[in-house]
Structure 1
Amino acid sequence: MVRPANSSDVDALYELASHTDGGLLNLPHDRDALKARLGWSEASFARQLEAPENELYFLVLENEDTGAIGGCACVFSRIGVPWPFYSYKIATHTHVSRELSHSFAARLLHIVNDFDGAAEVGGLFLHPDHRSGGLGALLARSRYLFIAQHRERFPEKIIADLRGYVGPDGSPFWNAIGRIFFGRDFREADHYNALHGNQFIADLMPRYPIYVDLLPKAARECIGRAHDQAIPARRILEAEGFSHDGYIDIFDGGPTLSAQIANLRTLRESREAVVTDTLSPDENGGAALVTSGALKSFRVWRDILVDDGGEARLLTARRAGVGAAIRYVA
């Protein structure tokens, strides 16, 4: 089951973070940073509003039998506040010499704020013991079901920053650009960003376009390349309707995917119904992700159901309760 995280989850999330290699901005292996995120999330779930401001909705995957936390995922309602959200945009500029009868198409990296005001999904991480059985899809799609249930809390556009390639010596992309300007290695800068935000980027990053061909080969090969562990997440995002339009992360060069929220598969295909009864085990129902409740009461689980014109019978109707309003998606 997926539910909103709360402050009592800090120890479980700290343990979960120990299974990352320190490269997940939204799941830092830092107890104080996790406490701050959980506090931010709890305040966001409690806030009454009619438009997105600067909310973080932190969700966790919980084993209902044991209470163990097997994963987490985040939704940010509006990025670019209180500090800008920076990306590199890849552009092509063609140089032509008529005298030499030669042309050259140069790729350039421009630092931009094109995604300020968009929502963002991130922080998707599963414990190594839970990376099978469709739990990744359950956790990932629960974010879009949350958006569908609380549409007024989100803007029109949404992005996902995929983790870029990191090798034994850190990020080749960061080593070629960021390290020169900031004087810190990748993990130190990434950790600082997780704790203190990215104002330091605005202070120190280069203002002029960077010619890709002047970068070392190892850095060039990282541009738009997702970390091996992020490839399954990329497939899930692309199946949902996200695409890569030439934006990359300024830290590790990983791809930034984007979509219009209205075009997301989960929002387009989800249906609303009212629970009327329990589905008999011998009935042929369809597998679905089901959600009920709002804000702090929001829950998502896998179920079998039959929908008769908006009246639904669920195999585990007790989860929502007869008479409860649900949303589901196959």
Structure 2
Amino acid sequence: MTFRLRATHIDDLEHLYEMAKLTGGGFTNLPADRNALTKKLNRADEAFSRTDGDLGDDQFTLVLENTETGQVRGTCQLFSQVGQQWPFYSYRLTTLTQHSQELDRTVRAELLSLVTDLEGSSEVGGLFLHPGERAGGLGLLLARSRYLFVAMHRSRFADRIIAELRGVIDDRGGSPFWDGVAGRFFGMTFQEADYFNAINGNQFIADLMPKHPVYVAMLDDEARKVIGVPHPSGRAAMRMLENEGFSAEGYVDIFDGGPTMTARTDQVKSVREAKPARVAATDLDIGERALIATGELSGFKSAYGMRDFSEDGSVSIDEISATALEVGVGDTVWSVAR
């Protein structure tokens, strides 16, 4: 069974909708709404069709496809610049230190400040793998293929890149962080706010959210405990991001309190180590395991395979990946060690 990642097209709508219903909420980039998903697919089509190659306001959507059955079993997204259509809000966790000479006491208070520091960054997000396929390294294929896409289209992405991890969601589908912070001002549940944000954007946050810092000590225990903590299902994703060079710098999501990881784009491991080469052969039997990709924009495809570089800089790859990527001798592929 072979899987490859490829660019989306409008025929993927029902596949994405069925997967969106499995997310369990808190997944803004994959709402279970056909109209919203159609808009995302149309926006992705515009991004894939844009030919000037400059940094713009693009959203690229990719899907994981079983090459034998044609089934779509996962998806991920890339955003070239966040905060272009509406402000990109985060909470920044900081510490305020104050000292009283009279009491000879120093007090340190943690604050959550509403900021737009990350505006203009690129973002990798919207990663979802069907529950029936969470084996065989397919999550890693989804995640790391995004960085190959960035490396292959570097001029279309910013110098900083971020990844938002979903925060803790309770058994009722609610968010302890939302209930303890923003929910007190909006008069709506986390699920209502999350769905509204997915469909309409977060301008309502700018309209209604208090702009003053929030003292963490004033929040209830349940809200405090989940600040900067990923959803249990996102812990592996957090480790993958850390392995790529991302780090948590105190930014958390304004809805569920999940951590926002940041990195310099050119220092992301899979971007930095990705290299292009001309295919010299497609019948490699033994070689280094790798992620291999080819194609520009809507022609992008990636898959697992094997590679072996020659002294002249060309590369030999295995037959299975060559078939999945639809490449032959003389074509160019990009690859990074698995």
Please name the residue that 1:294 is paired with. Answer: 296
Please name the residue that 2:42 is paired with. Answer: 39
Q: Secondary structure at the match of 1:82?
A: coil
* Aligned: 1:51 with 2:51: no
* Aligned: 1:267 with 2:271: yes
Please name the residue that 1:187 is paired with. Answer: 191
Please name the residue that 1:308 is paired with. Answer: 310
Counterparts of 1:20 and 1:154, CA distance in 2: 28
Please point out which of 295, 305, 329 is paired with 1:322: 329
Please name the residue that 2:102 is paired with. Answer: 99
Counterparts of 2:52 and 2:81, CA distance in 1: 13
Q: Secondary structure at the match of 2:97?
A: strand
Match for 2:331: what amino acid?
A
* Aligned: 1:202 with 2:206: yes
Please point out which of 242, 249, 255 is paired with 2:259: 255
* Aligned: 1:246 with 2:250: yes
Please point out which of 136, 139, 142 is paired with 1:139: 142
Is the Cα contact below 8 Å between 1:279 and 1:305 reproduced in 2? no
Deviation at 1:293, TM superposition (A): 0.6
Deviation at 1:49, TM superposition (A): 2.6
Is the Cα contact below 8 Å between 2:92 and 2:251 reproduced in 1? yes
Deviation larger for 176-185 or 56-65: 176-185
Deviation larger for 175-184 or 113-122: 175-184
Please point out which of 74, 78, 82 is paired with 2:81: 78
Please name the residue that 2:217 is paired with. Answer: 213
Counterparts of 2:263 and 2:54, CA distance in 1: 19
Q: TM-score, normalised by structure 1?
A: 0.97
% same residue: 46
Deviation at 1:276, TM superposition (A): 1.5
Q: Secondary structure at the match of 1:114?
A: coil
Q: Secondary structure at the match of 1:106?
A: strand
Count of residue pairs brought into register by the alignment = 328
Match for 1:288: what amino acid?
A
Q: TM-score, normalised by structure 2?
A: 0.95
Deviation at 1:305, TM superposition (A): 1.8
Counterparts of 2:226 and 2:52, CA distance in 1: 40
Deviation at 1:280, TM superposition (A): 4.1
* Aligned: 1:285 with 2:287: yes
Q: Secondary structure at the match of 2:102?
A: coil
RMSD: 1.0
Counterparts of 2:253 and 2:294, CA distance in 1: 35
Counterparts of 2:44 and 2:113, CA distance in 1: 32
Match for 1:257: what amino acid?
M
